[in-house]
Chains A and B, each alone.
Chain A
């Protein structure tokens, strides 16, 4: 069975400093992996996805993630945080059928 673990429930960084949101997965297959963002009282928006092409994936709003098979990780990074990045971030892995397996989420807090 596939699973995904987001290692931090909350991450707090100062504006202008780097962001790192950690995600580990387990999969019997060659997985597809996604990061979604949810701003307060909003729906979910895809930041980026990995589907067995380049291991470094660039997304929207300056975010990127690196697929590391040896570490079963797909961490999300951004060089410089902005106040508008404050949101909930979900790491998601696909299973062999139709469904997406969602991580528990990481709340990103940006300090001025």
Chain B
């Protein structure tokens, strides 16, 4: 199994809603990532978890709250988002250590629209 599965594929939410994005992998990877991708732009790193601990937070607003309950799962909790947060949210995984050498496996993403 070389897949990273993200749910839901599409999400529409209001600015007062609370929602969560989910990501799952069963490749035994111990590093997991959240990226944000706006249309026609490269992905931007948001968070990195290594061995279930948050290792990188790229100064992401607190309305985004990541969680890694175990080595296979990664969540992104959303609260009080703004319309400019509308984007494709991508999850990725890899072997831990430096991303310098390691291949990232990406999910297909959740297309989020904030109204």
Chain A interface (Cβ < 8 Å from any Cβ of B): 32, 34, 41-46, 49, 51, 90, 94-100, 102-105
**Centre residue among B6, B48, B55, B109 by max chain A CB count within 10 A:** B109
- CB<8 Å pairs between A and B, sample of 21: A43-B109, A44-B43, A44-B90, A46-B104, A51-B100, A51-B101, A90-B42, A98-B48, A98-B56, A98-B98, A98-B99, A98-B100, A99-B45, A99-B99, A100-B45, A102-B43, A103-B42, A104-B41, A105-B40, A105-B41, A105-B42
> How far is it, in angstroms, between the C-alpha of A60 and the C-alpha of B29 when the chains are bound?
22
B interface size (C-beta, 8 A): 23
A-B interface pairs (CB < 8 A), number: 53
Q: B108 to chain A: which residues have CB within 8 Å?
A: 41-43
Q: A42 to chain B: which residues have CB within 8 Å?
A: 108-109
> How far is it, in angstroms, between the C-alpha of A43 and the C-alpha of B4 when the chains are bound?
10
Q: B43 to chain A: which residues have CB within 8 Å?
A: 44, 102
Write the nearest CB–CB distance from B98 to chain A, whole angstroms.
6
A44, B106: Cβ atoms closer than 8 Å: yes
